[in-house]
Amino acid sequence: MRFANTAGALAAAALMTGLFASPAARAQSPAPSGPTGFLFDQGAPLAPVGQTLADYGVYVKGFFTDILYGVPSGGLQNTTVLYNEAFYGLDIDLNKAVGIPGAVFHVSLDSRWGGLDQGVNNLTGFSEGFLAGSGPDNNTRLTEFSYDQHLYNDKLRFVFGRTQLASYFATSDLYCQFVSSICSNMVPLNWSANSNAPFFPIATWAGELAVYPTPDTYARVGASLSDPTQYPHAGMPWDGGWGVRGPSGVYTPIEIGYVTHAGETRYPGHYDVGFYHDSSQFADPQYNTTGGKLALVGGTPLMHDGQSGFYFQAQQTLWKPDPAGSRDIWGFVGGMFAASPYSFVQSYWEAGLVAHGPFALRPNDNAGILYTHYTFNPRQTGSVDDRFTAEGIAANVSNDSDLVEINYGFAIAPGISFKPFVDLTFHPDQNIFDIPNPRQGVNFALGTGGQLFILLNPALGLPSFFREN
């Protein structure tokens, strides 16, 4: 089986998507011996209760996070916001519960409150700068209600129900080390840019089929409804929340990959390539049906049929002082390239480093540095330039934007951490739905913040259900 009961194995990305154990979680788990760096150890107060539930196949999961974020310089608004997220749910091992081998039922909800209802990118002016745990609005959502089946000695796996394919494709267990933009998958993949596929925590009807020819190789394909009508809703089964009349099309991704594991090599890695297509129609951002500019003459937007693109990801362990230890440094790179000339983001690049246990005396800390580069469709940035023209301002925005984040996560106790971070955005594109009037001379945005993170399972001693992506 590709899933197993591993206490304390989940992290932010894992709990958000319910899919995989993150290196961030390994960094929060106590080291086998020696110093932990924890300020205190609360023990495992709910371990007996959790184990009793696990014996019947029921695994509780959840986390709570507070993020304080501000833009002291540059950007559109020099202010500070505090926003919150709570994730909670169950993984039910149906083999233990009712005797169905290889079957799991997943249900989870996500609640968000505080801060700004639609996210925090209207502070920086960068359309792709959604921070982890913010947006699309303050709501409690049903983020997953799915059935997961493993067959043929774990060589075939399928999942279907209410979920989001962004949890399965173009993702990495390294990404939720970062608060800015990429947790939990490559940003241009979904609603924030190049398709109508939902991002976490929004769920639609979706399914994924994965084949594992060998323990180190896989191929997966998925299909989901592209349903923008779910954006402001909670995804519950009542009031049309599970209806099929709102979708604009079907989103179909494909990915093949090669993975090496810690038990096989001292320096494991993960490499994959993928393709996506969304059959939805998309409105042209700049021109109407008669060729006029929307910002200047209005009219009905010109419509385009479908969007497609390609991507690749590579991550590799670069340093590991003890083959049996948890301390290591990973490097990763990735890129995404639109095959449709009218896609919001024409090309995207990412690169970064993630360290688990950067210091021997603090083996449960983690640190990361991230760089991302976006090249936008000229019609997207042109639409912003047209809004300047409509206001009588001779100005324009760049076709290219860059974002850098540096962070350090301090392990306070098992399952409890605090992560200060700083991000710097160059040339924010200002193509933001709730800011109709761009501002001249916004060339950068400096953001700073801190994330308090409480991971329920290791904090309370609850056994976790490890679900590998």
Q: Per residue in 110-164, pLDDT tens?
A: 999 988 766 677 889 998 887 888 878 888 999 999 999 999 999 999 999 999 9
Question: Looking at residue 433, what is its pLDDT?
Answer: 72
For 355-369, the pLDDT digits (tens) are 999 999 999 999 999
Q: Give the position of tokens 């020099």.
A: 78
The pair of three-digit structure tokens given for residue 462, joined into one six-digit string: 């609850």
Residue 71 has pLDDT above 70, yes or no: yes
The CA distance from 292 to 296, in Å, is 8
Closest C-alpha to 114, from 127, 131, 102: 131
Residue 15 has a CB neighbour count (10 Å cut-off) of 25
For 177-200, the pLDDT digits (tens) are 999 878 878 888 877 689 988 888
Closest C-alpha to 372, from 175, 216, 156, 117: 175
The CA distance from 349 to 334, in Å, is 6
Measured torsion, CA atoms of residues 241, 244, 249, 251, in degrees rounded to the nearest 10: 70
The pair of three-digit structure tokens given for residue 278, joined into one six-digit string: 């969304």
Number of domains in the chain: 1
The CA distance from 251 to 226, in Å, is 6
For 298-352, the pLDDT digits (tens) are 999 999 999 999 999 999 999 999 999 999 999 999 999 999 999 999 999 999 9
Q: Which has more pLDDT, 102 or 6?
A: 102
Closest C-alpha to 330, from 365, 373, 367: 367
The CA distance from 313 to 175, in Å, is 12
Q: Are 150 and 132 in contact (CB under 8 A)?
A: no
Among the residue ranges 13-27, 67-81, 398-412, 442-456, the one predicted with the least confidence is: 13-27
Question: Looking at residue 430, what is its pLDDT?
Answer: 92
β-bridge mates for residue 331, sequence order: 316, 353
Question: Looking at residue 468, what is its pLDDT?
Answer: 63
The CA distance from 164 to 224, in Å, is 8
Residues 6+ apart with CB under 8 A from 140: 109, 110, 111, 112, 234
Among the residue ranges 32-36, 224-228, 265-269, 344-348, the one predicted with the least confidence is: 32-36
Closest C-alpha to 76, from 127, 27, 35: 127
**Distances from the Cα of 183 to the Cαs of 8, 197, 342, 458, in angstroms?**
20, 16, 25, 21
In whole angstroms, what separates CA 202 from the centre of its chain?
Answer: 12
| Mean pLDDT rounded to a whole number for the chain | 89
Residue 239 has pLDDT above 90, yes or no: no
Residue 412 has pLDDT above 70, yes or no: yes
The CA distance from 368 to 193, in Å, is 25
Question: Looking at residue 14, what is its pLDDT?
Answer: 41
Three-state SS letters, the chain:
CCEEECCCCCCHHHHHHCCCCCHHHHHHCCCCCCCCCCCCCCCCCCHHHHHHHHHCCEEEEEEEEEEEEEEEEECCCCCEEEEEEEEEEEEEEHHHHHCCCCEEEEEEEEEEEECCCCCCHHHHCCCCCCECCCCCCCCEEEEEEEEEEEECCCCEEEEEEEECHHHCCCECCCHHHCCECCCCECHHHCCCCCCCCCCCCCCEEEEEEEEEEECCEEEEEEEEEECHHHCCCCCCCCCCCCCCCCCCEEEEEEEEEEECCCCCCCCCEEEEEEEEEEEEEEEEEEEECCCCEHHHHCCCEEEEEEEEEEEEEEEEEEECCCCCCCCEEEEEEEEEEECCCCCCEEEEEEEEEEEECCECCECCCEEEEEEEEEEECHHHHHHHHHHHHHCCCCCCCCCEEEEEEEEEEEEEECCEEEEEEEEEEECCCCCCCCCCCCCCCCCEEEEEEEEEEEEHHHHHCCCCEEECC
pTM across the whole model: 0.90
CATH number of 13's domain: 2.40.160.180
Bridge-based pairing of strands 217-226 and 249-259 is antiparallel
Q: Give the position of tokens 């309370």.
A: 460
The CA distance from 48 to 385, in Å, is 61
Side-chain half-sphere exposure of 293, counting CA atoms within 13 A: 14
Residue 22 has pLDDT above 90, yes or no: no
What is the domain extent for residue 442? 3-467
Question: Looking at residue 240, what is its pLDDT?
Answer: 79
The length of the chain, given as a count of residues: 469
Please report, rounded to a whole number, the percentage of residues in the chain having pLDDT higher than 70. Answer: 91
